Structure 1
């Protein structure tokens, strides 16, 4: 599968970050990153237990490696995104949902989040999806900005949906129409042609 590659972090570094489909062997590294990145400001679930050596506990029946893309540099996992059908219903098969995106703290600001998100949209298109949805906490301004820059729009808000770190947090529903996004991107490219 062709996936967009993020920019190399520095011009003098020959090392590139590769975004690729996850495999079962990535499970431990994904779990470690999930544990490291957990924050009550961005997560609605309880903090995961510290990872056991060689644990691949991140994967389960609903969340399998084939639902994930990972960003790797020289064997080190720097980020991941999970994109999958939101339900097993055939009537909902044209939808994909982003159900998690994380970038290692030391790799933030390098464009990995944007590259992972674009790769997830490409994966959704390749699987025949017409629309991609996601949910994000109202106070997670960095993530909301990333999604808006990629073309996601707010489709709804569940006010005070979660009680986190001593205060209520809104659940913001966002989505992108892949066909419209493709038309817009093609139109913009045509507008810039000489």
Structure 2
């Protein structure tokens, strides 16, 4: 597959992104219940189109990354956080996730961030391996923070410098 086209999300992507969010939902990475129909509400006041980068392949959205702030505190404004990442099942293993992570890192740099962070569930080894390969390191673990699909799961905090 050629490299996916990464671009800023547009308001008219909302329906496709909601569909993708529903299609990719899994207790492997989600701590909230699965999205329910209708799937047309994806953007919010805190995460609009400009906070998302999407991956296109053959004219179809196959992934997204959401970038935001870890808190609303001014003292924390130098940090950006990956607040969501999804890749369509048919596009997994083709470099879409990596391209989206790199786009988030570049966007954070362009916005003047000194650090980028994320949270990932401990049992999501595929995502953890991807993040580690892009320079993220484990900075903390909250043991058994979530009870998902019948098991207690760690919340792993990862980050990296952008300097």
Q: TM-score, normalised by structure 1?
A: 0.81
Alpha carbons 1:68, 1:81 under 8 Å: kept: yes
| 1:32 and 2:16 correspond | no
CA contact (8 A) 2:67 2:81 kept: yes
Q: How many residues align?
A: 163
Measured on the aligned residues, the alpha-carbon RMSD in Å equals 1.1
CA distance in 1, matches of 2:21, 2:45: 18
- Can you give the 5+ residue segments of structure 2 that lack an aligned partner in the other structure? none
CA distance in 2, matches of 1:88, 1:40: 27
Partner of 2:142: 158
Matches within 5 A, 1:7-156: 9=1, 17-52=4-39, 55=40, 57-156=41-140
Cα deviation, residue 89, structure 1: 2.0
How many angstroms apart in 1 are the aligned matches of 2:13 and 2:113?
25
State the alpha-carbon separation in 1 of the partners of residues 150 and 71 from structure 2: 31
Task: Report the secondary structure of 2:135's partner residue.
Answer: coil
2:161 maps to 1:177? yes
Q: Which has the higher strand share?
A: 2
CA distance in 2, matches of 1:50, 1:109: 28
Shift of 1:163: 0.3
Q: TM-score, normalised by structure 2?
A: 0.96
- Cα drift, residue 51 of structure 1: 3.4
1:87 deviates by: 2.1
Choose 1 or 2 for highest CA Rg.
1
